[in-house]
Amino acid sequence: MHRKILILTLLSLMALSAAAQVSARKAIGSDFFTHAKRISNLKVWDDKVFFTISRADKEKNNYATDLYQLIDNRPVKIAADVSDYFFRDSGIIFRERKERAGGEAGAGEEASTALLKLGDGFGEADEWLRLPFRTSQIEWIEKDVFFYTAPYNHNPDKSSSYHVYDELPFWSNGRGDVSGQRSHLYYYSRGESRLLNDTLASVSTPVLSPDKKTLVYTLKPAWYGKQPDGALLVSLDAASLEKKEWKLFDKATYGNITFINNDEIVLTINRSLERNYIENPGIYRLNLRSGKLTTVYDGSIYAIGNSIGSDIGGAGRAEITFDSRGLRFVTTDVDYAPLVHLAWENAAVTHLSKGRLSILEYQPYADGFLAIAQDEQQGAEIYFIDKQGEASALTAINKPVFDEYNILKTIEIKFRSKTGRELNGYVIPPANRQPGRKYPAILDIHGGPKTAYGTVFFHEMQYWANEGYAVFFTNPTGSSGRGSDFSNIRGKVGTVDYNDLMSFTDAVLAQTDFIDPDRLGVTGGSYGGLMTNWIIGHTNRFRAAASQRGISSWLTFSNTSDIGYSFTHNYWGTDLWKNGTQLWDASPLKYADRVKTPTLFIHSEQDYRCWVVEGLQMYYALQYFGVPSRIVVFENENHELSRSGKPLNRIKRLEEIKGWFDKYLKN
């Protein structure tokens, strides 16, 4: 009896101690992302492991990226201000960031590219090569012989005081004015450059074969005015410079070009435009000698790449590697991103990583793999994945910081959609939750729509949860991770996805006991902003909303966005002249006279993806109809504000959203 009492007493003390430790942790604030580090550019050279670490600097209001080597599982900084790098001549080569001022190649202004080299010992970097022109990508044959791409603008009428547009697209998010801009391919040999494409054509993603004899790239044929759909695949003999164009499918786009050997490549081909269907790209194998094209995998379930959203994790390269039985790549599986193997023989997919690790980048290493990954609610670290798929962390770059803060675990919610499909989502409970108490909650909707939320750390959600909100999120129909049929919502935006979001909200309220159904908020960015605009015009169940960089009218979006006409056709199969009524009926702006929900709008002046007019129209309408509303427009920011905007602007964005919800959900 005494022993039982002693055990119970010890358990109670342990529970109290654990609770005290949790409560002693710091609350996640709006600036937490400035403490987290992004790890990227993982590479292996001579059994040594290298990578870059990026961090936000609040004082300078910018970001810094440095090069590190992993030594005894410790990150050791070896060079500052390095974003990408490669290995040549027994050293590490990287581009000098502070180059001489100059215009674009072809504009008649001076431009140059300086490449620096870190030699043995990785001390001071010396100039390895200076080129009298600007380069984007280089594919090396020798130090003085290589292919390179460079920007070019065929429109000489450029000025800092005005813009001249004569093409479509005429602007691009994150790049600004792109009217007349092309990417040219050149062959450089011992001091002389030779242009390899038509002046009005544009080249991208050149890849050189292992034996340095064949270059493969994609080509947008010469155009003036509206950019053509799709692209051509081109192979080029590195000795003769003779080219062969491969128009494998009508209106196809090509990506992830990787040489298997000197004669064969694997690549992804997206045929959505040709098939009038939103699909994952298929994986193909092309023999450049025989011309034989083989379908390896149709992409019906698994697509190459991690599309799990995160505002601290960073994007990784969609790398393809090979073994004797097939190929390996990172994919999105519902709500996490594993490493998988695809067999040549029967396209069977096998998971190479266990658990719920979401992998950003990977490299074959020893008898397994190195990976930059996020594990549940932790920051990114470098892991080793063994032959059994078990992962062990090699670094603790983010862990010490994350251990100091009150990071809340997700609760899975399963529900059935109106179409009968079983789906899932998650709830992050509010910090310091008290039994029997009801809390306000925020529905957070991801962008895309062909992306996904997972259980990886998401700063904005953890910030709101630490401020006393429950946060809930799901992947409605149209999201990635469940195959092409699930993501294909052509002609259905605002219908089946809206129903999924409402069914999920019902399930969250039914399966939790700490959310106040009368104090719900809704927010989202891009597609999430579109759905927020749509929701407030179709239900009054949300007491407040924060719409971020969203679409309000398909009519204006399709004729102002940098991707407007292609994206609108992809999701609706029409344009305003063929079926303007359908696009207007699907536009949130049409239903603005029904809105009763106080709404905050967040937009950026240089967001050419969802131009500021999309926010202004909804804001104007709500003001006109007397609905409490506010718009915050950030200068010198674009569509990526929440992920890579200036640190102080990212903090301001989060505080604006919190302040709006505090006003309407806590008072």
The per-residue pLDDT for range 69-107, each reduced to its tens digit, is: 999 999 999 999 998 999 999 999 999 976 433 334 344
Q: What is the pLDDT of residue 330?
A: 98
Residue that has been written with the tokens 């920007």 in this structure:
151
Three-state secondary structure call for residue 551: coil
The per-residue pLDDT for range 621-639, each reduced to its tens digit, is: 999 999 999 999 999 999 9
H or E segment at 527? helix 527-536
Distance in angstroms (rounded) separating the CA atoms of residues 262 and 260: 7
CB 561 within 8 A of CB 263: no
The per-residue pLDDT for range 481-501, each reduced to its tens digit, is: 999 999 999 999 999 999 999
Handedness of CA 175, 180, 186, 190 (dihedral sign): negative
Handedness of CA 586, 587, 589, 590 (dihedral sign): negative
pLDDT at 6 > cutoff 50: no
Edge-to-edge order in the sheet of strand 181-189:
138-142, 145-153, 181-189, 192-195
Q: What is the pLDDT of residue 316?
A: 76
Handedness of CA 323, 41, 204, 232 (dihedral sign): positive
Please give the average per-residue pLDDT across 294-307, as a whole number: 96
**Residue 70 CA from chain centroid, whole number:** 26
Q: What is the pLDDT of residue 97?
A: 78
Query: What is the band of 15 on the pLDDT scale with cuts at 50, 70, 90?
Result: very low
pLDDT at 116 > cutoff 90: yes
Cis peptide before 517 (omega within 30 of 0): no
pLDDT at 109 > cutoff 70: no
pLDDT at 123 > cutoff 60: yes
Biggest CA–CA distance in the chain, Å, is: 92
C-alpha Rg value of the chain to the nearest Å:
26
Query: What is the band of 10 on the pLDDT scale with cuts at 50, 70, 90?
Result: very low
Q: What is the pLDDT of residue 120?
A: 76
Name which of 639, 646, 663 is nearest 530 in CA terms.
639
Please give the average per-residue pLDDT across 127-150, as a whole number: 96
* Cβ count within 10 A of residue 66: 17
Three-state secondary structure call for residue 72: coil
Q: Which residues contact 493 (CB under 8 A, 6 or more apart)?
A: 449, 478, 530, 571, 572, 586
Distance in angstroms (rounded) separating the CA atoms of residues 447 and 451: 7
The per-residue pLDDT for range 188-239, each reduced to its tens digit, is: 999 999 999 999 999 999 999 999 999 999 999 999 999 999 899 999 999 9
CA distances (Å), 606 to each of 361, 404, 638, 639, in order? 30, 36, 5, 8
Q: Structural domain boundaries of the chain?
A: 406-665
pTM of the model: 0.94
The per-residue pLDDT for range 224-277, each reduced to its tens digit, is: 999 999 899 999 999 999 999 998 998 899 999 999 999 999 999 999 888 888
CATH superfamily placement of domain 406-665:
Alpha/Beta hydrolase fold, catalytic domain (3.40.50.1820)
pLDDT at 431 > cutoff 70: yes
Q: Are strands 411-416 and 391-393 parallel, antiparallel or unpaired?
A: unpaired
- The mean pLDDT of the chain is 93
* Cβ count within 10 A of residue 72: 6
Name which of 241, 289, 287 is nearest 264 in CA terms.
287
The tokens for 471 are 């946060």
Handedness of CA 188, 192, 196, 199 (dihedral sign): positive
Helix ranges (DSSP H) in 429-492: 459-466, 484-487
CA distances (Å), 449 to each of 35, 352, 481, 512, 555, in order? 29, 27, 11, 27, 19
Q: Which residues are catalytic?
A: 526, 639
Q: Which residues contact 546 (CB under 8 A, 6 or more apart)?
A: 521, 522, 523, 532, 599, 600, 601, 602, 656, 657, 660, 661
Distance in angstroms (rounded) separating the CA atoms of residues 376 and 458: 10
* Cβ count within 10 A of residue 466: 23
Distance in angstroms (rounded) separating the CA atoms of residues 552 and 587: 6
Please give the average per-residue pLDDT across 105-124, as a whole number: 74
Q: What is the pLDDT of residue 23?
A: 57
H or E segment at 145? strand 145-153
Q: What is the pLDDT of residue 98?
A: 62
Q: Which residues contact 515 (CB under 8 A, 6 or more apart)?
A: 427, 438, 439, 440, 441, 470, 508, 509
Three-state secondary structure call for residue 100: coil
The per-residue pLDDT for range 445-460, each reduced to its tens digit, is: 999 999 999 999 999 9
DSSP line for 256-312? EEEESSSSEEEEEEE-HHHHTS--PPEEEEEETTT--EEEEE--SS--BS--B--SS
Q: What are phi and psi of 648, to 5 degrees?
A: -65, -30
Q: What are phi and psi of 342, to 5 degrees?
A: -115, 120
* % of the chain surpassing 70 pLDDT: 94
Q: What is the pLDDT of residue 205?
A: 95
pLDDT at 325 > cutoff 60: yes
User: In the 3-class helix/strand/coil scheme, how is 587-652 assigned residue by residue?
Assistant: CHHHHHHHCCCCEEEEEECCCCCCCHHHHHHHHHHHHHCCCCEEEEEECCCCCCHHHHCCHHHHHH
Name which of 400, 350, 349, 354 is nearest 373 in CA terms.
354
Distance in angstroms (rounded) separating the CA atoms of residues 665 and 442: 10
**Residue 48 CA from chain centroid, whole number:** 28
